[in-house]
């Protein structure tokens, strides 16, 4: 409840989300405390703002100065920023340094105040040990390597106590993997989970999209039923459509059969199912797919996922049933999900954070199985490792400067 900018972080299970929820409960007008998701894609049926839509960034195509000018002159963007008392940016690890710098500049211009974020308070939440942001055009993807971060003076609040006490041992293993520590305890934990039961019915995680697609199609072809092919309908400008094709949670072509294992990719407002719930297709008609989830039938209609343009309008939509085949998926697609039963193929993990994200997807370690693991499967970005090692209130700014120098900024 201070006026300082805060970086809220911590290991898996330390209660970051809970703390933010409690913080918001203490506020009478939550509309002045927007919580911004880091992905550019959102379901049109779900209220809320993504980071990109709040700041009117679109896909940030073109000259950064042009993007900033356009966003800062947008009436809706100006209204949102001027009525905010504090910005809460969730999943900060998925935002690039470029996106953070531009949003900071937009806020300064709207508020006509050239302090960081125009003097507005900002709370960023997340864990940089997870997968890095997707950024092909900028060499410094991590948000903490941005100019905005170094000027914002984020006070690190590191949660260290586990809140999920029922699986304290598992949390300890995950957190060792998080920092790249492979000791005898971790090796034993992995080896005890390499024998996959014959009747395994969970989801397999692969590092590559083609691996997941091939496994899903192989399992789908075993079902002796007619296959339905449902193409996702895209509308909008080509560059926004391209962004949706890469980032939307639904496939470009959805292949289904009665009996197919599927994953729901939206949250139910009535909380009957969530993003990541697993079920079986019970029936398919032209405009609805019936799915059996834990013995109850739910009917799904097509919905649209949107990418907003720089004016806050819909730049493109992707419309299909909010489902995907669930015998397998990629680790990238699984980030943010919680699954009951999981088998992780660690054969081709190439990215720092891959193993940590995969291991932290399962609700109960008794439902976890591991294939093809080696010590080389466990990686942590050395820049992230150094960032956390040096991240304490007494030397935070100095340590960040050292990291930036190491990164040839």
The pLDDT tens digits for 78-113 are 999 999 999 999 889 888 899 999 999 999 999 999
Neighbours of 31 (CB within 10 A): 10
- Give the mean pLDDT of 114-127: 94
pLDDT band at 315 (very low <50, low <70, confident <90, very high): confident
pLDDT band at 311 (very low <50, low <70, confident <90, very high): low
pTM of the full structure: 0.81
For the chain, which domains are there? 6-161+382-406 (3.40.50)
pLDDT band at 69 (very low <50, low <70, confident <90, very high): very high
- Give the mean pLDDT of 161-171: 71
SS (H, E, C) 209-230: HHHHHHHHHHHHHCCCCCCEEE
Q: How far is CA 204 from CA 131, 159, 227, 302, 358, in A?
A: 18, 30, 22, 26, 10
The pLDDT tens digits for 179-217 are 888 999 999 999 999 999 888 888 999 999 999 999 999
SS (H, E, C) 11-60: CCCCCHHHHHHHHHHCCCCHHHCCEEECCCEEECCCCCEEHHHHCCCCCC
Angle (CA) 87 88 90, round 5°: 145
Whether residue 393 has pLDDT greater than 70: no
pLDDT at 130: 86
Whether residue 403 has pLDDT greater than 50: no
CA 160 to chain CA mean position, Å: 21
Q: Mean pLDDT for the chain?
A: 85
Q: Which residue has the higher pLDDT, 360 or 220?
A: 220
Range ranked top by mean pLDDT from 13-17, 57-61, 327-331, 332-336:
327-331
Neighbours of 198 (CB within 10 A): 4
Q: Which residue has the higher pLDDT, 16 or 96?
A: 96
Q: Which regions of 302-346 does DSSP assign to beta strands (E)?
A: 303-308, 314-320, 323-325, 328-330, 342-345
pLDDT at 409: 41
């Amino acid at each position: 409840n201070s006026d300082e900018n805060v970086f809220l972080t911590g290991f898996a299970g330390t209660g970051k989300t809970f703390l933010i929820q409690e913080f918001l409960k203490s506020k009478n007008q939550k509309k002045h405390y927007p919580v911004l998701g880091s992905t550019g894609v959102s379901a049109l049926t779900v209220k809320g703002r993504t980071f990109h839509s709040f700041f009117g960034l679109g896909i940030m195509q073109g000259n950064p100065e042009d993007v900033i000018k356009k966003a800062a002159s947008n009436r809706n963007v100006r209204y949102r920023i001027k009525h905010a008392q504090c910005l809460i940016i969730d999943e900060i690890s998925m935002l690039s340094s470029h996106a953070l710098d531009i949003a900071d500049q937009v806020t300064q211009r709207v508020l006509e105040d050239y302090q960081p974020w125009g003097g507005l308070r900002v709370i960023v939440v997340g864990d940089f040990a997870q997968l890095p942001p997707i950024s092909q055009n900028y060499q410094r993807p991590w948000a903490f390597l941005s100019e905005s971060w170094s000027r914002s003076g984020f006070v690190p609040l590191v949660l260290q106590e586990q809140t999920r006490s029922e699986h304290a041992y598992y949390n300890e293993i995950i957190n060792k993997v998080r920092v790249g520590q492979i000791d005898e305890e971790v090796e034993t934990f992995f080896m005890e989970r390499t024998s996959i039961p014959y009747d395994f019915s969970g989801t397999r995680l692969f590092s590559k999209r083609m691996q997941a697609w091939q496994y899903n199609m192989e399992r789908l072809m075993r079902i002796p039923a007619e296959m339905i092919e449902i193409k996702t309908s895209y509308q909008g400008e080509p560059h926004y459509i391209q962004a949706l094709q890469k980032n939307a949670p639904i496939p470009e072509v959805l292949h289904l059969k009665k009996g197919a294992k599927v994953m729901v990719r939206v949250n139910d407002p009535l909380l009957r199912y969530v993003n990541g719930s697993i079920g079986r297709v019970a029936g398919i008609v032209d405009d609805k797919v019936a799915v059996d989830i834990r013995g109850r039938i739910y009917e799904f209609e097509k919905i649209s996922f949107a990418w907003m343009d720089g004016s806050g309008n819909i730049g493109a939509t992707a419309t299909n049933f909010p489902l995907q085949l669930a015998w397998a998926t990629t680790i990238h697609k699984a980030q943010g999900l919680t699954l009951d039963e999981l088998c992780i193929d660690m054969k081709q993990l190439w990215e720092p954070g891959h193993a940590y994200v995969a291991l932290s997807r399962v609700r109960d370690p008794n439902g976890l199985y591991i294939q093809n693991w080696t010590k080389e499967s466990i990686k942590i970005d050395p820049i992230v490792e150094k960032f956390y090692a040096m991240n304490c209130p007494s030397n935070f700014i100095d340590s960040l400067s050292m990291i930036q120098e190491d990164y040839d900024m």
